[in-house]
Amino acid sequence: MDNVEFLILRNLLYNEDYTRKVIPFIKSEYFEDLNQKVIFEEILNFITEYNQLATKEILSIEIEKRKDMNDTSFKEILHIIGCLEDVAVELEWVVKTTEKWCRDRAIFNALMESIQIVDGKDEKKNRDSIPSILSDALSVSFDTHIGHDYLLDYEKRYESYHRKEDKISFDLDFFNKITKGGLPNKTLNIALAGTGVGKSLFMCHVASSVLLQGRNVLYITLEMAEERIAERIDANLLNVPIQDIVDLPKQMFENKVTNLAKKTQGTIIIKEYPTASAHAGHFKALLNELALKKSFKPDIIFIDYLNICSSSRYRGNSNINSYTFVKAIAEELRGLAVEFNVPIVSATQTTRSGYGNSDVELTDTSESFGLPATADLMFALISTEELEGLGQILVKQLKNRYNDPTIHKRFVVGIDRAKMRLYDCEQSAQEDIVDSGQEEEYNYEEKKPKKTFEGFKF
């Protein structure tokens, strides 16, 4: 009877430190042997109700009360309980062994459940749920961190204040200012704009600039074909107007791409999905497949664009409102960013009233106000006839978890639609913008109190 399940049951009876660490993560369905499963259920019930370890005597009494076993099973269970003796083991080793067992059993159960779904034996779930089932199983792990102790964990907190965070920087000065140096990992960042204003142009430009930093980019498109996105990136990186790319001789085109490849260690992968057909589960499967087949791990993911994704929680034709549906998509994409430790950049449409408006607000978000509630950074891209004539586009911060959104609340960037590029404007272009918040930043050093600790008692 020397197996992992028996090891787990024995330590659940005698090792309180072990029990406190692992009991939240072990599930009864992980036990293959029915008798051991019954013992675990009684141990779990007692700990849940009385917040202390069970004993062999308690288990024997509680199991005798059960009505779901015959005499043979009852005798076998009592025999197993009798064999559970207190044997000293190394805590870290037994915790790691238990964690691996839980993960292996979760994966096995997920595979069996997936086979049932494929065979049509599960009436409640369809094949679309399989990627999510497998992903949940693969992510099983023991997270024993139960919170930050404010008074005891001050050293960790102080170190975190001075730790340089890995960010994806922009090649646009004002975007770096409002994000304090770029986009952090595990975040969802949203551009809000009307049709034709420049959502895809913005994402293609940032994707191009990230590639030139030597980083890997995954660009997922649900609106345009892969070739159309690649064409926009070509215009940006090869410095050729988009309408002239088709006229380039093959040799010249090849030379430009070859020269570009010498300048960067990064890669851009562009993947197209049919509109409204793909959700975070599909994107997870794609990321795992890219890692397996191409050893490709993106540093940033672009999704063009959020509103035409689907949700892994709800079917597209299910009877739910747009607020719930779009909020679910946003939450799933942010969860994807956290799981794969990358920033995700996407976009959303303005409402009909917001289209053409020179002062877009959060309330102009199309379909769901739940989207800005989930996003870490949200900004509007605004174009007017006057701005278009100046070759500029106005950016307005709507929500910002990285910095004070009143600093540089509005600013302009140059736009070259022919080459699908954005660029920094001269400072004079920012000076006439109302409510830009720039004065606050320029006077900040004057208003800031001097760094002195005179009179401060330690």
Helix/strand/coil (H/E/C) assignment for every residue in the chain? CCCHHHHHHHHHHHCHHHHHHHCCCCCHHHCCCHHHHHHHHHHHHHHHHHCCCCCHHHHHHHHHCCCCCCHHHHHHHHHHHHHCCCCCCCHHHHHHHHHHHHHHHHHHHHHHHHHHHHCCCCCCCCHHHHHHHHHHHHCCCCCCCCCCCCCCCHHHHHHHHHCCCCEECCCCHHHHHHCCCCEECCEEEEEEECCCCCHHHHHHHHHHHHHHCCCCEEEEECCCCHHHHHHHHHHHHHCCCHHHHHHCCHHHHHHHHHHHHHHCCCCEEEEECCCCCCCHHHHHHHHHHHHHHHCCCCCEEEEECHHHCCCCCCCCCCCCCHHHHHHHHHHHHHHHHHHHCCEEEEEEEECCCCCCCCCCCHHHECCCCHHHHHCCEEEEEECCHHHHHHCEEEEEEEEECCCCCCCCCEEEEEEECCCCEEEECCHHHHCCCCCCCHHHHHCHHHHCCCCCCCCCCC
φ and ψ of 195, to 5 deg: -60, 130
Domain residue spans of the chain: 4-138, 167-446
Which has more pLDDT, 143 or 120? 120
Q: What angle do CA 23, 142, 327 make, to 5 degrees?
A: 105
**Is pLDDT at 449 greater than 60 in this prediction?**
no
Q: What is the pLDDT of residues 319-330, one digit of tens each?
A: 777 778 888 899
What fold characterizes domain 167-446?
A: Rossmann fold (3.40.50)
Q: Are 179 and 401 in contact (CB under 8 A)?
A: no
Instruction: Specify which residues 412 forms β-bridges with.
Output: 394
**445 pLDDT band (50/70/90 cuts)?**
very low
Q: What is the pLDDT of residues 402-439, one digit of tens each?
A: 999 888 899 999 999 999 999 998 887 777 675 555 44
CA distance 113 to 45: 26
User: Does the CA dihedral 343-265-243-271 come out positive or negative?
Assistant: negative
**133 pLDDT band (50/70/90 cuts)?**
confident
Locate 179 and state its tokens: 């994000």
pLDDT score at 157? 86
The total number of residues written for the chain in this structure? 458
Q: Could you tell me which of 46, 20, 18, 3 has the C-alpha nearest to residue 35?
A: 3
**360 pLDDT band (50/70/90 cuts)?**
low
Helix axes 280-294, 322-340, angle to 10 degrees: 20
Q: Could you tell me which of 229, 230, 253, 232 has the C-alpha nearest to residue 242?
A: 232
Choose the weakest-confidence range: 106-110, 324-328, 409-413, 444-448.
Answer: 444-448
- Residue written as token pair 């191009």: 208
**166 pLDDT band (50/70/90 cuts)?**
confident
pLDDT score at 1? 47
Say if strands 217-221 and 187-193 run parallel, antiparallel, or are unpaired: unpaired
Q: What is the pLDDT of residues 55-99, one digit of tens each?
A: 999 999 998 888 888 889 889 999 999 999 888 889 889 999 999
State the average pLDDT over residues 231-251: 93
**Is pLDDT at 218 greater than 70 in this prediction?**
yes
**140 pLDDT band (50/70/90 cuts)?**
confident
Percent of the chain with pLDDT over 70: 88
Helix/strand/coil (H/E/C) assignment for every residue in 310-351? CCCCCCCCCCCCHHHHHHHHHHHHHHHHHHHCCEEEEEEEEC
pLDDT score at 168? 93
Percent of the chain with pLDDT over 90: 51
**316 pLDDT band (50/70/90 cuts)?**
low
pLDDT score at 317? 56
What single letter denotes the amino acid at residue 153? D
pLDDT score at 350? 78
pLDDT score at 351? 62
Decide which of 1.10.860.10, 1.10.3720.10, 3.40.50.720, 3.40.50.970 is the CATH code for 4-138.
1.10.860.10
**447 pLDDT band (50/70/90 cuts)?**
very low
- Residue written as token pair 């770096």: 176
pLDDT score at 318? 62
State the average pLDDT over residues 231-247: 93
Contacts of 441 (CB under 8 A, 6+ apart): 177, 407, 408
